[in-house]
Amino acid sequence: MALARDKRLHLAAGAAVGAVAFLVCASRSQDVFLAFWCAIVASAVVGTAKELWDWRHPPHVSDPMDFAATVAGGGLGGALTSLVLALLRELRPT
């Protein structure tokens, strides 16, 4: 089953927000678990703001599945950023 274009856009936006939030939090705390949760929370904040905006501005329609796609993207962005950073650390010459 393919995701609708709108859901793919929400997923991508959430992933971008999540990746940036992960990098910011990881650079400040060095705690990967905390950085992952920063990615989730940041994407949830952005997703909530977007859905509230849609709700207040007809003909846009607020959709809980858009919010879910944004947050899922945040988790995906945080996880992929963590993976890439771990791989880069492994490849760094000693």
What does pTM read for this prediction? 0.92
Percent of the chain with pLDDT over 90: 93
pLDDT per residue as tens digits for the range 69-81: 999 999 999 999 9
Handedness of CA 21, 25, 28, 31 (dihedral sign): negative
Amino acid 31: pLDDT: 94
pLDDT for 1 beyond 80: no
DSSP state of 40: H
pLDDT per residue as tens digits for the range 12-40: 999 999 999 999 999 999 899 999 999 99
Q: CB 32: neighbour CB atoms within 10 A?
A: 16
